[in-house]
Structures are given as structure tokens and as C-alpha cells.
Amino acid sequence: MILLVLIASVLIAGVTIYQYREQSKDYHQDRLERKEEQILQSISYALKETTYEPKTENLEFIFRDEIYKIADVQNVNFNIYDLDGGLVKSSKPAFEADTISNCLDAEILNNLSTSSERRYVEKKQTSGSNYQASYKYITDPKFKPIGIMNLPYFEDNSFNDMELREFLMRLGGVYLFMLLAAILLAYFISKYITRSLQTISDKLGQTDLTKNNEKIFIDNPGEEIGKLVDSYNAMIDELQQSAVKLARSEREQAWREMAKQVAHEIKNPLTPMRLSVQSFERKFDPKDPKAESKVKEFSKTLVQQIDTMSSIASAFSNFADMPAQQNETLNVVNVTKLALDIFNEPYIHFSAEEETIIAKLDRTQLIRVVTNLVKNAIQALPDIESPSIMVTVTAEDEHVVISVADNGFGIEEEFKEKIFEPKFTTKSSGMGLGLGMVKNIVENYKGTISFTSQRGTGTVFTVKFPRAK
């Protein structure tokens, strides 16, 4: 709208200027022709009334005084030339005679003689103004040319230019008003149009597969907006159905994976137990003097495998058991020290920037987090010449930060995205549930866990919990 108003104003201004110039051009042309006709009529009348014979040689005598009378009556100066272009008489005062050409150019005479109208108009520009000079034959009563009448004409456009300026100023004021009105109108119309689109845009930005998304309700929407809203609401219904199916599928898949893992871990100790029983049954002799020691050895083997199965069951139970949010007020520094007391490795170091950093957590679950992270760090240092593990507790704004850093070999890039997944492990033993359990505990207490790792340098795990207020 604004662009159309601007284009229209420029076009109308251009057309107005062009029209004024054409109008001024036509006005001067008509005025020159009228003056020329009036002077020629006066000349014809003078030729009829004179006592001199109307011929070229007598023009000087015929118009000796008559030329001034005609000039006064017509309020314009003009000149009379003979047929060869020589000046015969001029109505201008004597002191301006030097500005009058005493002899016409051959070009003027040629153009005049070849013109079908027996008339020629010369156009020039002098002192920044347009100048026209009309040349026409003076004829006797028998229409025989006896001389040339020259009418100089200077175009005075000052009045038209003033009128044009005033008109353009008025036009500019009108279009300025129209431009401001167009800006306001465009603003309100665009606000009205985009109001519904903004609502839809906000809802689209808030759409999340994991949340219960709200539908859009707009009063009296336009046809296109109504179709867009209906499409969005239909998409939300489909999205909710897909989210339910996806959640059910993920739960089923998780249970299937967990069942496979449990079955796999239980089968591992069952195989040596079966082999032990078969070997004992085949080789055992009650009369053997070493029968008692063999029974003890067999029992010891079975007990070890049973303990292994028990630890497997405990690990899966611990992973599945989400910690209850017991908001016990703890000194995180002291609890972390307590968790490190079970480790005997001399390369484990602890530091804290403050003696007391308070948070509301469950003591047991916090100890599980620290011990699991330290165990992972120890297992990452099997072949390090000078192993080192640094555990630090710091306060950062409204959070308490626990970091466990080691100087091991680091984590491969291909494993970084899977490090917190249950069942994922890079070790030859273990079930890969430790970091997954730690992540569950941390997130259950509104915390975050992250890590940085570089090959050949080491790994740093960072846990953040909200501080007690």
C-alpha cells in the first residue's frame, strides 16, 4: 500500500509537470500565431490606406510612422525586411537597434521560401529563456510577396512556473497525508492479519511430542486462517495418538531389551553351574578318601555362581528402583568424603572450595552417584603409569557441582552419544547400568550430568544439583 502511494505520487507529479509544460508550449504557440495574425492584418490595412504603391521599394516610406502605431496598438515590437533579407524598418527604439539583425540568414530565407505555409518559426534559447522568432511574407493586395515580417517572441513562463510550484506543493501535502494514512492503515491491517498467524506461530513453537499440546481456538477467523487452524488441530490430535503409541512402543521395547539382558546375564553363571554338577555327578565316588574335600570344592563353586546371580539381580533391581525424593538437608562435602572412604586407591584425591555446601538430597542416592562415577574412573585407568582421579565439590551460583576427573585414555567419539544408555558398556565385564542409574538419580533431583573427554588426556564427569535455599 505504501509503495503504491509513493509510486502514484511520483507518477502524478511527473504527469503534472509534463502537462504544464505542454500547456505552456501550446499557449505560447497560440499567442505567437494570434499576434502574428493581428500584425499582418494591421499591415494589410496600412497597405490599403497608403498613397504609395505597395511594393518592396516603398515599404520604408509606407511604414515610416505606421510601424510605431501598429506596435503601440498590438503592444509588441516587430521588424520588416525586404525579400533579400535586408532590414527595412523596426519598431524598436533606436538604442536597441544594435540587437536587431540587419540581414537575415540564408537558412531563414531558404526555409521561408520552401515552406508550404509561407511561414517559418525559429526557436532558440537565450539567457536561460526560450525565444521564438516568426517570419512571414508581407503580400500586396494581389497576394504577391513584397517583404518579410519578423515577430520576435520571448516566452515568459514565470507565471506558469509559479502556478506549477504551488500546485505541486498542494499535491505534495495531499500525498503526504495519504502516505501517513496508508502507513497507519497498513499497520492496523497487518496487525489484524498477523494476529491469527502469530497465535498459530506461537502454538507451533510450543508443540512438543513429549507434552500435552493445546489446540488453537480463534474467534471469527478468515477462511484461509480457519483452514490452517483446522489443519493444526487435526495434526495435534494425530500427534497425541502418535505420542501414546510411541510411548507404549518404547516401554515395550525397553522391557524386551531388559528381559534379554537379564536372561543373558543369568545364563552366564548357569552354564558353569551345570558343567560343575555334571562333572561332580560323573566323577564323584563316595568311597574316595578325598570325597569330603571334593564336596566342599563343589559347594564353593556353586555358592560363587549363586552370589554372581544375586549381584546381577541386585544390579537390575537398583537400576529399576527410582530413588524416592527424600529431601534431606545434607552437607554435600561431608557426604562425598564419606563415599570416597570405601576406596583404598592412593591416587584418588578430594578437594572442596568450601567446608559446607548444603543441598536437599537423599544421602544413599548421593553416595551411589559418587561411588559409581569413581568406579568408572578407576576402571578407565588399567594401564596408566601414573593414574590420578580428582574429585571436587564446588558451589556455582545456585548449584552444587561435583566433578570426577581422571587421566585415562578418554572416551571414543563413537561411544559418547551412548554413554548414558542402559546396557551400554565398553568394558569386558559388567552390565552397563552404572551411568544410566546415575543419570536417573540426578535427573530425579532436578539436576544435570555431563562429561567432557579427550583421547589420551582423560575424562571429566560433572554433576549439578540445586543448592538448598
Q: What are phi and psi of 409, to 5 degrees?
A: -80, -10
Q: Are 373 and 462 in contact (CB under 8 A)?
A: no
Q: Measure Cα distances from 392 to 336, 346, 351, 353, 461 in Å.
A: 9, 16, 5, 8, 11
96 — pLDDT class (breaks 50, 70, 90): very low
Max avg pLDDT among 181-185, 251-255, 287-291: 181-185
Give the model's pLDDT for residue 314.
Answer: 66
| Over residues 263-290, mean pLDDT | 69
The chain-wide mean pLDDT, for the chain, equals 79
Q: Is a pLDDT exceeding 90 seen at residue 464?
A: yes
168 — pLDDT class (breaks 50, 70, 90): confident
Q: Is a pLDDT exceeding 70 seen at residue 429?
A: no
Give the model's pLDDT for residue 461.
Answer: 93
What does the pLDDT look like over 123-162, one tens digit per residue?
877 666 777 888 999 988 888 899 999 988 887 777 777 8
Q: Measure Cα distances from 186 to 39, 125, 173 in Å.
A: 61, 48, 20
> H or E stretch including 123?
strand 119-126
| Over residues 77-96, mean pLDDT | 81
Give the list of residues 6+ apart from residue 78 with CB closer than 8 angstroms, or none.
39, 67, 70, 71, 90, 91, 149, 150, 151, 152
| Over residues 367-377, mean pLDDT | 88
Q: Is a pLDDT exceeding 80 seen at residue 335?
A: yes
Chain-centre distance for alpha carbon 265: 55
**3-state secondary structure at position 384:** coil
221 — pLDDT class (breaks 50, 70, 90): low
Beta partners for residue 80, in sequence order: 89, 149
Q: pTM score, two decimals?
A: 0.38
426 — pLDDT class (breaks 50, 70, 90): very low
Q: Is a pLDDT exceeding 60 seen at residue 453?
A: yes
Domains of the chain, CATH where assigned: 2-161 (3.30.450.20), 223-320 (1.10.287), 328-466 (3.30.565.10)
Taking alpha carbons only, the member of 467, 458, 336 closest to residue 392 is 336
* Set of cell numbers at residue 73: 496598438
Residue 165's region, left for phi above 0, alpha for psi from -120 to 50, else beta, is alpha
Identify residue 23 by its one-letter amino acid code.
Answer: Q
Lowest mean pLDDT segment, chosen from 104-113, 188-197, 443-452: 188-197
Q: Are 375 and 430 in contact (CB under 8 A)?
A: no
